[in-house]
Amino acid sequence: MDLSHHGYRASAKPRARAAPPAGDPLLFDDTSSAAAPMNSQGYYTPGYDMGGAPPGGPGNAGVNNLFADPMASAAMMYGSSLANQGKDMVNKEISRYVSVNKLKYFFAVDSKYVMKKLLLLMFPYTHQDWEVRYHRDTPLTPRHDVNAPDLYIPSMAFITYILLTGMALGIQKRFSPEVLGLCASTALVWVVIEVLVMLLSLYLLTVHSDLSTFDLIAYSGYKYVGMIFTVLGGLLFGSDGYFVALAWSSCALMFFIVRSLKMKILSSLSNDPMGAGASAKPRLRLYITVATAAFQPIIIYWLTSHLVR
Amino acid sequence: MAFTLYSLIQAVILCVNAVAVLHEERFLSKIGWGVDQSVGGFGDEPGIKVQLMNLVRSVRTVMRDYIFFLFLQCP
């Protein structure tokens, strides 16, 4: 079966039994809600198909016996319908708090995007065009636009950072499983604090930008990539390598944050001829952007210095 | 500083409580942060102080009923 990402677009294709149910590729299509009910039906037809069509090849005698037994097949159908109901209920509850469509946008990535974005995070100085491209009023998915924020890299980098922390603490013979959980929740709490402070300052200064909460979480989560690079430098090359890697990733991350947020925060000003730019608003917005950028090296140092002695 | 998620929740509850106990008449009007003093200019963007006053008032309105039960959660 064609599992390349071009195959994901052909939503009219009938689902072969070998289709991995976890890789619901229909969900990555442009998040129209018409795809979702079709998908939840399509997800369970393999289950019913298995009861109907007997599998070919050796060893099907036993399987045929199981499904020829009406009690077993009835129980299986009942069980799958229960699971279906449970899944629908969970989806309904979750979609009341978190807009799942909006979340799907942030995870629509492919490996080319991830490579380019990681390169951009570590060396942003040669990138020319920082505008997020739009396609008929909706922002392009990260698959098509390298400037779009995504949540895949931050979440993967967070998990990698936790694993690296465990390894670094193990090298120092200070490891215990509780420390891992503590480190994970500390890092998460700092991200939450930073996102809340950003939201509060954007609200107070009435910046009408299109930065949603998930965008801010994404931009805050990009610092984990810097943290991983710093910890790796410290582990491989000792204390000197740690500070060199810290300086490099801090500068790169600061540049990246300033250039990315400048587009969103500062350019939401209208260019009306209102005096010689004497209002405090552009300055305060600039302060926010610079403060966000300056916060990144501090938190990177704070969260990684105890790993490298 | 080792934070847990629980300490974050506790800190948030305490901060919200601190905002919720600011009394409208006895305190906020005295220092010029009352809700009747926040008539902003129309068509112009409200300043930081007006936004902050609105935020305080909305937090008080929302949390007035629930803050007691949230407080019971902390040991």
**What confidence score (pLDDT) does residue A190 get?**
92
Mean pLDDT of A258-271: 74
As given in the structure block, the two tokens for residue A269 are 């000003």
* Contact with chain A for residue B1, Cβ under 8 A: yes
Q: What is the dihedral of CA B54, B59, B65, B68, to 10 degrees?
A: -140
Task: State the pairing for strand pair A134-135/A138-139.
Answer: antiparallel
Mean pLDDT of A244-262: 92
| CB-CB under 8 Å, B45 with A204 | no
pLDDT at A7 > cutoff 70: no
If you average pLDDT over each of A4-18, A49-63, A123-137, which comes out highest? A123-137
pLDDT confidence of A6, banded at 50, 70, 90?
very low
**What confidence score (pLDDT) does residue A306 get?**
82
| CB-CB under 8 Å, B55 with A186 | no
Contacts across the A-B interface (CB distance below 8 Å): 32
A266/A209 Cα distance (integer angstroms): 9
Beta-bridged to residue A138, according to DSSP, are A135
CA-based nearest residue to A194, from A123, A294, A276, A285? A294
**What confidence score (pLDDT) does residue A66 get?**
58
Name every chain B residue with its beta carbon within 8 A of the beta carbon of A192: 8
| CB-CB under 8 Å, A193 with B7 | no
Judge contact between A219 and A257, C-beta under 8 A: yes
A147/A110 Cα distance (integer angstroms): 14
| CB-CB under 8 Å, B46 with A189 | no
pLDDT at A95 > cutoff 50: yes
CA-based nearest residue to A27, from A81, A80, A95? A95
Q: DSSP code of A273? A: -
Q: How far apart are the first and last CA of chain B?
A: 21
Name every chain A residue with its beta carbon within 8 A of the beta carbon of B8: 189, 192-193
CA A240 to chain centre: 32
**CA distances (Å), A4 to each of A28, A55, B1, in order?**
13, 26, 45
| CB-CB under 8 Å, B45 with A189 | no
Which residue on chain A is closest to B52 by alpha carbon?
A: A204
- Give the least confident one: A191-195, A207-211, A260-264, A275-279: A275-279
pLDDT at A250 > cutoff 90: yes
DSSP secondary structure string, chain B?
----HHHHHHHHHHHHHHHHT--IIIIITTTT--GGG--PPTTS---HHHHHHHHHHHHHHHHTTTHHHHHTT--
Higher pLDDT, A285 or A39: A285
pLDDT at A23 > cutoff 50: no
**Residue B46 identity:** P
CA A231 to chain centre: 22
Rg, Å, chain B Cα set: 15
Judge contact between A216 and A225, C-beta under 8 A: no
pLDDT at A106 > cutoff 70: yes
What b/e sequence results for A15-24 when a residue is b if at least 16 CB atoms lie within 10 Å of its CB, and e otherwise?
eeeebeeeeb
Q: DSSP code of A276? A: S
A253/A154 Cα distance (integer angstroms): 13
pLDDT confidence of A56, banded at 50, 70, 90?
very low
**Residue A75 identity:** A
Name every chain A residue with its beta carbon within 8 A of the beta carbon of B1: 186, 302
- Give the least confident one: A20-29, A49-58, B59-68: A49-58
**What confidence score (pLDDT) does residue A31 get?**
55
| CB-CB under 8 Å, A190 with B3 | yes
What ipTM describes this predicted complex? Answer: 0.83
A51/A74 Cα distance (integer angstroms): 10
pTM: 0.69
Beta strand ranges found along A172-306 (DSSP E): none
Residue showing tokens 């499904």: A67
| Spans of chain B below 70 pLDDT | 1-2, 35, 37-46, 74-75
Mean pLDDT of A11-23: 45
B10/B75 Cα distance (integer angstroms): 10
**Residue A200 identity:** L
Mean pLDDT of A76-89: 91
Rg, Å, chain A Cα set: 25
Mutual angle of helices A70-97 and A60-68, in 10-degree steps: 80
pLDDT at A28 > cutoff 80: no
Q: DSSP code of A21? A: G
At a CB cut-off of 8 Å and minimum separation 6, what does A174 contact? Answer: none
**What confidence score (pLDDT) does residue B75 get?**
63
